[in-house]
Amino acid sequence: MHLRSVNVGLPRVAAWRGEDVHTGIFKAPVTEPVMVRTLNLDGDRQADLAVHGGVEKAVYGYPAEHYAFWREQLGEAFPWGAFGENLTTSGLDENSLHIGDRLRVGEAELVVTQPRLPCFKLNLRFNRADMVRRFLASRRTGFYFAVVKEGLIAAGDPLTVLARDPAGVTIADITRIYAFDKQDRATMRRLVTIPALAEGWRSYFAERLATFDGA
């Protein structure tokens, strides 16, 4: 397991459906070591802090292995960082990472907090009106990290799992019960007990459980 690429980018204005949109989704690989901080990487920013960024979404990772799928689906190749990820990873995926897992990369330590639910800016990035729908349907969402320990990272750095969360709820599990298997109460009950789970997700599933219990 290692980093294939580290990608950063500052917000820019892009046109979408006749309007100017302020977005930070455009990332490009960097070759020098980059400092990972509590809210983002040096040289990287999010545009709309109401829905992007923050402690629970400080770093976004996306598996390099998914690029072959999208190349086949969309008929073109894409550079690392195309999905707006900061870390293009090898050896990690949504089925192997659990919420609350703790990892070391370079000098930094990260904890897994949630999957990505894309907004319309993914459509903008790929110039496709159906990209958000395709992305969620593929279940290839990638994963967000909070920063436990700041430090320098670089492409080629190994990724090491330091600890596995005992609840054993994967990134794929969250996407599944959010969008496809909405009656899986057992997984929801395990999920809301995980301290590392992003608060927005915790509230969402707690409300879902309350609805079931009140039925």
Among the CATH numbers 3.30.2010.10, 2.30.130.60, 3.40.630.40, 2.40.33.20, which is that of 2-214? 2.40.33.20
Q: What is the mean pLDDT of residues 119-144?
A: 93
CB 106 within 8 A of CB 152: yes
pLDDT of residue 214: 64
Count of CB atoms situated within 10 Å of the CB of 135: 20
Q: What is the mean pLDDT of residues 125-131?
A: 93
| Digit-coded pLDDT (tens) for 7-30 | 999 888 888 888 888 888 899 999
Contacts for 47 with CB less than 8 Å, ≥ 6 apart: 11, 22, 23, 24
Rounded distance, CA 179 to CA 65, Å?
Answer: 23
Residues of the chain with pLDDT > 70, as a percent, come to 96
Task: Look at residues 32, 10, 33 and name the one whose alpha carbon lies nearest to residue 23.
Answer: 10
| DSSP characters over 22-81 | EE----EEE-S-EEE-SS-BTT---S-TTTS-SGGGSEEEEETTHHHHHHHHHSS---TT
Give the start-to-end residue ranges of the domains of the chain.
2-214
Task: Look at residues 147, 144, 158 and name the one whose alpha carbon lies nearest to residue 99.
Answer: 144
Q: What is the mean pLDDT of residues 83-101?
A: 96
pLDDT of residue 47: 63
Q: Which residues pair with 6 in a beta bridge?
A: 30, 87
The overall average pLDDT reported for the chain is 92
pLDDT of residue 17: 82
